[in-house]
Structure 1
Amino acid sequence: MGGRRSWRRYGRVAGLLAVLAVATDTVGAHGAALSDGGREAVAVPTWLFLVTGGAAIGASFLLASLVTDRTLIAAIHDWRRHVPVPAEWLLRSLLSLLGVAGLLWVFVVGVAGPQRGTANAAVLLVWVGWWAGFTMSTYLVGSVWPVLNPWRTLTDLLPSLKRSYPDRLGAWPSVVGLLALIWIEVVSPVADDPRTLVTVVVGYTAVTFAGAVAYGPGKWFETVDPIARVFRYYGRLAPLAREGGSIRLRLPGTALAETRLVDGFDEVGFVIALVWATTYDGFVATPAWESVAGPIVEAGVPSLVLYLVVLASGYLLFVAVYVIGTRYSRRLAGTYLATPTLARRFAPPLLAIAAGYHLAHYLEYFLSLAPSLVTTAATPLTLRETVPVLVLPGWFDAVALASVLLGHVLAIWTAHAVAFDSFPGRLQAIRSQYPYTLVMVLYTMSSLFIVSQPTIEPPFL
């Protein structure tokens, strides 16, 4: 009876969301883009995106609950293949040199190259080649960032004071660092102005060097550095991972169900920050945000302050929603496991949501501007009046929607696997997923709403 009451309760909430979605105006679908201008495709009802996306997540939960058992889950998540890597030391050395060369390239070309973002190979390398292309390869294929990371390569050569890192801080500095980098990316011309980009990279390098010298490179990049943590977490989604002297092949996303990926609530906070950062980055580049922010800015609130307040308050809201969902999950499961324990166990599946939205946000951007990167890299110090841009067909907009949905479906599956690993009873495991499924439906509908909006430059900056 308690299960039926819970289903009715969540059903009423989902129904209310559907009604609100139907009442929303129609908007135009778009392909995710940053500086390539975006485009507006055929108008599609917003409610169709939202209701269909939420229903897909609910249906995937029902399917996972009805047709799986522990044997099948174990067979899927335990599948492994090992492939030896010949001359691994040589490959690692080449990647390390490539990373350092890339950092030097950004410094030189950013200062001496053309001072127009779309014609500067340093700007394109950072945003198109690295943050878009390399990041996608990290969660789709595998992570080589620990070897490629130029800051780690260089700080390993420096002496270390080996001071004791304050354990009470945990991973929270990396949370603050990630949110700060996202705020800088949104409110500054760092994605368009080469010298602003170089200034930010120099500042990041100075902080990184100081921290690595003070606490040691191992502690700094394992605990504090936000970029290293982003790639470490995204790498757990990928089918390829390094293990000893070989490459381990596994099914995508299955590592998210393993224990000890997230060890404390500080690391839970970083996972949620990653999910919120991708959402915030997309939301502030939509007409919906412009209509909300306009009256506030006109009332005298500085736009930089408004962007910062929304970034911080939105993050706290995402954390609150997750904590409330965890508490209800514990109550419905009837378990002796503490709420912080459940919060740690169920946080990694959220990484699939972050990756799905990153793919939706950056895939078209990467494919459109990849020819520009190749062309400008051939003559990095020469100003080109025009650079080639790949124009993708209109149907490619559907790829962004599919990316969001697939990320959420993978999150549902891995959370399902975590539940069966955490609770002894089948019904107990299924009931624990009711609140998380509702949370993921809310995340899905918000992500689809953002993807369905035309892309604009963040306003009032």
Structure 2
Amino acid sequence: MRCPQRRAVGAGLVAASLALALTGRATAHGGSLSADDSRALAVPLWLFLSTGGGVVGVSFLLTSFVTDRELLRAVRERRRDVVLPSGVRRWLAICARAIGLLGLAAVLVVGVVGPAAPLSNLAVLVVWVGWWAGFTMTTYLVGNAWPVFNPWRVALPLRERLPAPDWRLPERVGSWPAVAGLLAFIWLEVVSPLAGDPRLLAGVVGAYSALAVAGGFAFGEEWFERVDPISRVFASFGAVAPVYRDAGGSLGLRVPGTGLESPDLVRDASDVAFVVALLWVTTYDGLVATPPWRGFATAIVGAGVPAAVLYPVALLAGFGVFLAIYRVAVSRGRRDAESYRDPLELANRFAPSLLAIAAGYHVAHYLGYFIELSPALLGALSAPLAPPAPVAVVLPPWFSVVSLGFVLLGHLGAIWVAHAVAYDLFPSRMQAVRSQYALTAAMVFYTMTSLWIVSRPYAAPPFV
């Protein structure tokens, strides 16, 4: 084994060991709303150790030994068309749009006039359990159906029927508005009582709806492609999914994750930043709900730093660290491969592989949460204004193993995608392999960070 590879493996093992040293009992916690904040799902320490070390070994085996370009190309190009009659597709689209508009109306109305208790209010349960947890999981496990469900896209047919400004964003703006919007969305989710105050949630959704419809009317499709962070999140996750829509609008099936190998998915530095931001915000959302963060935040605020400053600074600083780690890894990989390719091109091509890690961590973070609170959601749907007493599912202790498994699967998927892209970019086998040393070490860092967060018991974020 060459020295750079030894160093990368060593870095991964150190990260795994550090995570284990800080763990003890592995647990899983939900996101913004929880039926039981005190639960702790135990995972044996040896299992955490073996899975953490095993994923590092398997990842490097993939990087080092899967060198058959024809096999990689065959996996990527394995596609099958999904044939639906045009009439069926049209009615499905109409039904999906109606569901989207009805869901938005329910959130706005029931959020204002419904029960005040969050676990009984349909608006809270639809937004956090049904949409942000459940629907988001379908975008990377099945396919991105958000364009047909998105109620704010009603602005596009209005734009065709009414006089509308023909505004265009300057090219230099790129996707930076979506990056800023995503960071702002997660910051607001963390620091405000959106999950516990249905009236506030309805107000925020109403304001966002007005902005999205106005933006779509003024800028057209460009608004949802470059500005709207929610549409960008679902589009990014949709590249992981097996069901996709081609340029002509036809549906097809592919091997999950192979959509991340497309050279057109990430086009510039702002798109790279959005991918890293998506990876980071899911991590941040979990981080601030752990006991170590509670201890850190208490100490910092006790030292005189305002809590209102701590949370956005931590959000931006963490994003900067994640982005810097990725850029350094790509630069080091270019140097290890002795390549003259443009560093920006390499950053663009390898960035989508991080979406597999983000998807793995999202499902690990939210699957148990979704299962726990689904009965409460169904009860609220049955009687929005007078729902029955909320019921929650009690997950078995072994379910935390499932959460850890999804984190590791996301990591393996990211390694495979980056490996396949490397063989597209570099003519030499050794160039392709060497280009992955630093990037794999960065992925191990991202994944072990996620594993450590998933392993901590839930603790409500302090000072919010």
Same fold per superposition (TM over 0.5): yes
SS of corresponding position for 1:348: helix
Partner of 1:5: 3
Residue deviations 1:263-290, cap 9 Å, x none? 0010000000000000000000000111
Partner of 1:420: 423
Task: Measure, in 1, the Cα distance between the counterparts of 2:79 and 2:366.
Answer: 30
8 Å Cα contact 1:96-1:147 kept in structure 2: yes
Partner of 1:130: 131
Partner of 1:454: 457
8 Å Cα contact 1:109-1:120 kept in structure 2: yes
Task: Measure, in 1, the Cα distance between the counterparts of 2:354 and 2:47.
Answer: 24
Task: Measure, in 2, the Cα distance between the counterparts of 1:133 and 1:336.
Answer: 44
What amino acid is the match of 2:28? H
Which of the numbers 191, 195, 199 marks the counterpart of 2:195? 191
Task: Measure, in 2, the Cα distance between the counterparts of 1:69 and 1:445.
Answer: 29
8 Å Cα contact 1:29-1:44 kept in structure 2: no
Task: Measure, in 2, the Cα distance between the counterparts of 1:248 and 1:19.
Answer: 42
What amino acid is the match of 1:76? V
Task: Measure, in 2, the Cα distance between the counterparts of 1:156 and 1:223.
Answer: 19
Partner of 1:268: 272
Which of the numbers 201, 204, 217 marks the counterpart of 2:205? 201
Q: Give, in angstroms, the shift of residue 55 of structure 1.
A: 4.2
Task: Measure, in 2, the Cα distance between the counterparts of 1:287 and 1:230.
Answer: 28
Q: Give, in angstroms, the shift of residue 128 of structure 1.
A: 0.8
Residue deviations 1:88-142, cap 9 Å, x none? 1111111112111111111111111111110001110111111111110110001
Give yes or no for the alignment of 1:438 onto 2:437: no
Residue deviations 1:133-181, cap 9 Å, x none? 1110110001111111100124531442112312221100100000100
8 Å Cα contact 2:23-2:455 kept in structure 1: no
8 Å Cα contact 1:119-1:372 kept in structure 2: yes
SS of corresponding position for 1:189: coil
More moved, 10-19 vs 143-152: 10-19
Question: Structure 1 residues 106 and 10 mapped into 2: Cα distance closer, same or farther (>3 Å)?
Answer: same
Unaligned stretches of 5+ residues in structure 1: none
8 Å Cα contact 1:120-1:376 kept in structure 2: yes
Task: Measure, in 2, the Cα distance between the counterparts of 1:105 and 1:335.
Answer: 55
Question: Structure 1 residues 260 and 246 mapped into 2: Cα distance closer, same or farther (>3 Å)?
Answer: closer
What amino acid is the match of 1:371? P
Question: Structure 1 residues 223 and 309 mapped into 2: Cα distance closer, same or farther (>3 Å)?
Answer: same
5 Å-filtered alignment, 1:108-147, equals 108-147=109-148
Give yes or no for the alignment of 1:210 onto 2:214: yes
What amino acid is the match of 2:40? E
Give yes or no for the alignment of 1:156 onto 2:157: yes
Moved over 4 A (4+): none
5 Å-filtered alignment, 1:336-347, equals 336-347=340-351
8 Å Cα contact 1:353-1:404 kept in structure 2: yes
Partner of 2:386: 382
Partner of 2:355: 351
Task: Measure, in 1, the Cα distance between the counterparts of 2:64 and 2:124.
Answer: 46
Partner of 1:363: 367
Task: Measure, in 2, the Cα distance between the counterparts of 1:408 and 1:454.
Answer: 22
Residue deviations 1:274-314, cap 9 Å, x none? 00000000000000111111111112222121011000000
Give yes or no for the alignment of 1:40 onto 2:37: no
8 Å Cα contact 1:117-1:192 kept in structure 2: yes
Q: Give, in angstroms, the shift of residue 224 of structure 1.
A: 0.7
More moved, 164-173 vs 229-238: 164-173
SS of corresponding position for 1:249: strand
8 Å Cα contact 1:257-1:418 kept in structure 2: yes
Give yes or no for the alignment of 1:170 onto 2:174: yes
SS of corresponding position for 1:156: helix
Question: Structure 1 residues 23 and 57 mapped into 2: Cα distance closer, same or farther (>3 Å)?
Answer: closer
Task: Measure, in 2, the Cα distance between the counterparts of 1:397 and 1:335.
Answer: 42
Task: Measure, in 2, the Cα distance between the counterparts of 1:431 and 1:15.
Answer: 19
What amino acid is the match of 2:416? W
8 Å Cα contact 1:113-1:383 kept in structure 2: no
8 Å Cα contact 1:156-1:217 kept in structure 2: no
Q: Give, in angstroms, the shift of residue 50 of structure 1.
A: 6.2
Question: Structure 1 residues 179 and 440 mapped into 2: Cα distance closer, same or farther (>3 Å)?
Answer: same
8 Å Cα contact 1:50-1:449 kept in structure 2: no
8 Å Cα contact 2:244-2:251 kept in structure 1: yes
What amino acid is the match of 1:149? N
Q: Give, in angstroms, the shift of residue 359 of structure 1.
A: 0.1
Q: Give, in angstroms, the shift of residue 246 of structure 1.
A: 3.6
Task: Measure, in 1, the Cα distance between the counterparts of 2:155 and 2:215.
Answer: 13
What amino acid is the match of 1:137? T
Task: Measure, in 1, the Cα distance between the counterparts of 2:373 and 2:145.
Answer: 23
Task: Measure, in 2, the Cα distance between the counterparts of 1:247 and 1:407.
Answer: 24
SS of corresponding position for 2:35: coil
Task: Measure, in 2, the Cα distance between the counterparts of 1:398 and 1:311.
Answer: 28
SS of corresponding position for 2:435: helix
What amino acid is the match of 1:310? A
SS of corresponding position for 2:82: strand
8 Å Cα contact 1:160-1:212 kept in structure 2: no
Q: Give, in angstroms, the shift of residue 396 of structure 1.
A: 0.9
Which of the numbers 279, 288, 292 marks the counterpart of 2:292? 288
Partner of 2:24: 26
8 Å Cα contact 2:19-2:452 kept in structure 1: no
Task: Measure, in 1, the Cα distance between the counterparts of 2:225 and 2:203.
Answer: 25
Task: Measure, in 2, the Cα distance between the counterparts of 1:126 and 1:304.
Answer: 25
Q: Give, in angstroms, the shift of residue 31 of structure 1.
A: 4.5
SS of corresponding position for 1:241: strand
Task: Measure, in 1, the Cα distance between the counterparts of 2:138 and 2:13.
Answer: 38
Residue deviations 1:10-44, cap 9 Å, x none? 34534544554454352442354542224113364
SS of corresponding position for 1:380: coil
Task: Measure, in 1, the Cα distance between the counterparts of 2:16 and 2:228.
Answer: 40
Task: Measure, in 2, the Cα distance between the counterparts of 1:383 and 1:83.
Answer: 40
Task: Measure, in 2, the Cα distance between the counterparts of 1:18 and 1:394.
Answer: 22
Q: Give, in angstroms, the shift of residue 381 of structure 1.
A: 0.9
Task: Measure, in 1, the Cα distance between the counterparts of 2:5 and 2:249.
Answer: 49
Task: Measure, in 2, the Cα distance between the counterparts of 1:43 and 1:64.
Answer: 29
8 Å Cα contact 2:242-2:254 kept in structure 1: yes
Report the TM-score, using the length of structure 2 for normalisation: 0.94
8 Å Cα contact 1:329-1:433 kept in structure 2: yes
Question: Structure 1 residues 258 and 439 mapped into 2: Cα distance closer, same or farther (>3 Å)?
Answer: same
Task: Measure, in 1, the Cα distance between the counterparts of 2:56 and 2:3.
Answer: 20
